């Protein structure tokens, strides 16, 4: 009788262990699903914020003049893509020496279509963006 009772308890213990393992697997699956849903929720929230931040200034531009502390109704929405047109110069040379770039430009006329200081700024930012080194 004791052996039969011991066998039944062992069988019951084994079934409970199997049930516990199945519940643990189910719990891990639920946690994994919860993590995936949380990631999806954050991705949607990020997309929503980016969408609002991108659309709001273009749609409600007339109410944004307070950012610049000016009172005007002359506000225009400009295109968002900036194209890099070639810079026209009489003679331009870039020399890379070690970890720096020497920018040499010669202008043959006293005046140019694009002022020299604007061209220098444009060259500087383009070279810095491309090579990430000192520009002289």
List the chain pLDDT tens, one digit each, 136 residues. Answer: 677 666 677 777 777 888 888 888 888 888 888 888 888 888 888 777 777 776 766 676 666 666 667 777 776 666 667 677 777 777 788 888 778 888 888 777 777 788 888 888 888 888 888 888 888 8
Query: How many whole angstroms separate alpha carbon 53 and alpha carbon 63?
Result: 14
Torsion (CA) 111, 114, 118, 121 in degrees, nearest 10: -110
User: What is the predicted pLDDT for the residue at 71?
Assistant: 74
The model carries a pTM of 0.46
Using an 8 Å Cβ cutoff, are 101 and 127 in contact? yes
Q: Is the CB of residue 135 less than 8 Å from the CB of residue 101?
A: yes
User: Which pLDDT score, from 0 to 100, does residue 82 have?
Assistant: 67
Q: Which of the 8 DSSP states describes residue 68?
A: G
Distance CA 114, CA 130 (A): 22
> How far apart, in whole angstroms, are the C-alpha atoms of residue 125 and residue 132?
10
């Amino acid at each position: 009788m004791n052996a039969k009772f011991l066998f039944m308890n062992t069988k019951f213990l084994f079934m409970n262990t199997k049930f516990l393992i199945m519940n643990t697997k189910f719990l891990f699956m639920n946690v994994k699903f919860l993590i995936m849903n949380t990631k999806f929720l954050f991705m949607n929230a990020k997309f929503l914020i980016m969408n609002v931040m991108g659309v709001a200034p273009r749609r409600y531009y007339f109410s944004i003049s307070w950012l610049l502390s000016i009172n005007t109704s002359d506000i225009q929405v400009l295109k968002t893509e900036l194209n890099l047109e070639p810079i026209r110069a009489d003679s331009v040379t870039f020399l890379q020496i070690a970890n720096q770039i020497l920018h040499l430009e010669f202008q043959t006329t006293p005046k140019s279509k694009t002022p020299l200081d604007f061209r220098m700024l444009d060259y500087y930012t383009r070279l810095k963006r491309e090579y990430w080194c000192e520009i002289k």
